[in-house]
Structure 1
């Protein structure tokens, strides 16, 4: 069995995708700037840190306090790897140390190096040599370095990229957390109307065919989905109304042949066969009436009247008492209050209570008492002393056409109709059943 995949989070999806976009944009900008800078800055920039670090590590002063450069391994390696290297290192007091052949074009600058903090020297008509002046902090103070002969070593682009990391690192450090903080708010605000529509869709009742989802305020990317959903509701409404009309018409049409059959059977001579046929016709008539009641209730959801539950229950008991007594039952009515008013549909509630009493008559095995009661909490209960309903059937008996036993009397619509009427009134139905009897309550 394949596990169901959870729906992806729009917040997470937008956050990481925007993060990738930001990283890509920053990377593209930094790469572009480094490429551009590499074309205009000194080719020596790739060696500035290498030369400066080697000379800074070698700088010291002799016994007279004059600047000197010791032959450290780092400085030695620098000289060996760069055969054309030349440099002049000068302290702020003008003392200097040089290495390698200084091009004649820059020879006059040797005694002035200590005056420069940073310089890019090129374009001389006397030489193609590129020279650079850079500063280095050493153990004996600041040293100014004029060097050249290394323009072909290293990559200026990579050097510039390494030097610019404080820019893009700080930019990403600010931008990425901002994305994960801002995106949820942006998404929540953009989809707030969609959430309202989703909540409204969840409250759509099958029997309220005129309900549609609003399109106003919905993002243009989502509105086609809402429009398509409304179109589906339109088609479902058309088919539902066809079904309703068919069932109502069928129930009406069944009345005439049933009445004709009953009349013909009643004209037959007395006998067991006549009684069985009359019972079958009565059962068929009850089924047709229940179908009609089922569809009438499905279409009647107006609850504008103020009804008295006590009077409705009392009337139902009075109407069905002769049938219950004839079937071998005692029947009683009790109410905790004189009047209990609720907003509702009196005919529908009357049918619900009557169906509960009829259900008790049909399944109580013709013995014991059927008690109808009304309590102060808005519950109308019908209790019988029949054999009870097994636990595994107690939920199913509220489904249309379900019967505990195949040979049960009735079409299996009574309790389903009761549940539907209670739901239309914002209430529900409960059942308590054991071997001593069954209690079904409508709570409004």
Structure 2
């Protein structure tokens, strides 16, 4: 994954958190605006006066109600134009301040009979409230108002709603960051399975497709597009494969004609050189045909006996190895080694391994073919070995360790392809003492 990719879990977490915060903010503001229309316009004044009165109202030395001129109360009086209030107790005591509107003057003796009240008239002078507060002098009732101006109620409501939305945000935001990753992980479990299957697709895996049933609907079009690309690649690969197979077949006839004509020439260096070139051309065409034909995987599997196959391959190629300057040996520590596979394909595998040893063994030393009871076949030479940085490249099609070598570079690639089709693997061990190639089926 590139550094520019962002985590879907993190992205969804912070985006959902932001959406939730915005929704809560809009809800609180909306409630505050609504509250400003239905609650008393004196709400801010009520809170200020009630808070100041808690400290200002006391009983004097004779037990009578007294309102001290505290700094808080003085500040409210100086900042509020036309402030008036009436303070009453259960004992019938009453203290007033300011000019009480005529519409509420007759109500003053009965203030203590109200627990709370919101009273509104036709204008600002006719807006009044009654509040009940606890003071040092006991429980009192306050009727208050002012002759002009209105305070903005919304900020007071926002502050008053803190106990609601702050715990809500404090509990919900961590829950979002904990829950969203798990939800995303479960929702994308099908995508992870698709990714694992995509990694398992080999270059020569024909007909491979990714499932779309277990993935979210939003991701399905991407997987469908990927499957479409795989389908188009399969079609192009089949075209290329048919072309190469047809080309290799078509080359057989002119190569055979050329070989017949060259064999009819008079003996000489030119004849030998041409025969060698034609043999190389014919071998390359056969290898190319085997390479593409094996990819079609048309041969049915049956029980094969690897000891006999290896022995016959050594017998067939021994004259070629001896003519090239090698000694060749065959060894087995078991009389029979049966596996399921294609007899023709496994014959090509062992033959290609022996031919590879002949081509790259340095034309000296021993080429040994061994079959072991634990299930693997080994072909070893005593040549100069393969450089470490090229040991994996030799299995790539058309790659040659020595650029000017006569081989086409398809032998080991074909070996690995066939062995992989048989559910096996190829192991390479090469150094200055020679090269060992092992196949395990």
**CA deviation profile, 1:28-47 (whole Å, cap 9, x unmatched):** 22222221221121100122
The partner residue of 1:77 within 75, 78, 84 is: 75
What is aligned with 2:347?
350
1:422 maps to 2:393: no
Distance in 2 between the 1:302 and 1:8 partners?
48
| Change beyond 3 A, Cα 1:257–1:312 | same
* 3-state SS in 2 of match to 1:273: helix
1:119 maps to 2:138: no
The partner residue of 1:264 within 249, 255, 261 is: 261
TM-score, normalization by structure 2: 0.92
Shift in Å at residue 91 of structure 1?
4.0
* 3-state SS in 2 of match to 1:147: strand
The partner residue of 1:335 within 322, 332, 339 is: 332
What is aligned with 1:309?
306
Q: How does 1:36-55 map to 2 (within 5 A)?
A: 36-55=34-53
What is aligned with 1:7?
5
* 3-state SS in 2 of match to 1:220: coil
Q: How many residues align?
A: 441
| Change beyond 3 A, Cα 1:4–1:79 | same
Distance in 1 between the 2:66 and 2:424 partners?
99
| Change beyond 3 A, Cα 1:301–1:119 | farther
Shift in Å at residue 196 of structure 1?
3.0
Distance in 2 between the 1:98 and 1:189 partners?
69
Q: Which runs of 5+ in 2 are unaligned?
A: none
* 3-state SS in 2 of match to 1:260: helix
Shift in Å at residue 382 of structure 1?
0.8
| Change beyond 3 A, Cα 1:342–1:144 | farther
**CA deviation profile, 1:62-96 (whole Å, cap 9, x unmatched):** 11233322211111111111131111233454433
Q: Which runs of 5+ in 1 are unaligned?
A: none
Shift in Å at residue 303 of structure 1?
6.7
Distance in 2 between the 1:129 and 1:262 partners?
123
What is aligned with 1:255?
252
* 3-state SS in 1 of match to 2:99: coil
- After TM superposition, the structure 1 stretch with the greater mean CA deviation from structure 2, 165-174 or 353-362, is 165-174
The partner residue of 1:371 within 339, 344, 368 is: 368
Distance in 1 between the 2:170 and 2:147 partners?
36
Distance in 1 between the 2:305 and 2:330 partners?
15
Distance in 2 between the 1:311 and 1:6 partners?
58
Q: How does 1:14-413 map to 2 (within 5 A)?
A: 14-123=12-121, 128-149=125-146, 152-300=149-297, 304-413=301-410
Question: Any conservation in 2 of the 1:105–1:124 contact (CA below 8 Å)?
Answer: no
* 3-state SS in 2 of match to 1:213: coil
| Aligned Cα root-mean-square deviation (Å) | 2.4
Distance in 1 between the 2:397 and 2:215 partners?
39
Shift in Å at residue 394 of structure 1?
1.7
- After TM superposition, the structure 1 stretch with the greater mean CA deviation from structure 2, 364-373 or 325-334, is 325-334
| Change beyond 3 A, Cα 1:100–1:128 | closer
TM-score, normalization by structure 1: 0.91
* 3-state SS in 1 of match to 2:126: coil
- After TM superposition, the structure 1 stretch with the greater mean CA deviation from structure 2, 251-260 or 420-429, is 420-429
Distance in 1 between the 2:274 and 2:236 partners?
37
| Change beyond 3 A, Cα 1:136–1:435 | same
Question: Any conservation in 2 of the 1:116–1:144 contact (CA below 8 Å)?
Answer: yes
Question: Any conservation in 1 of the 2:59–2:137 contact (CA below 8 Å)?
Answer: yes
* 3-state SS in 2 of match to 1:55: helix
| Change beyond 3 A, Cα 1:325–1:83 | same
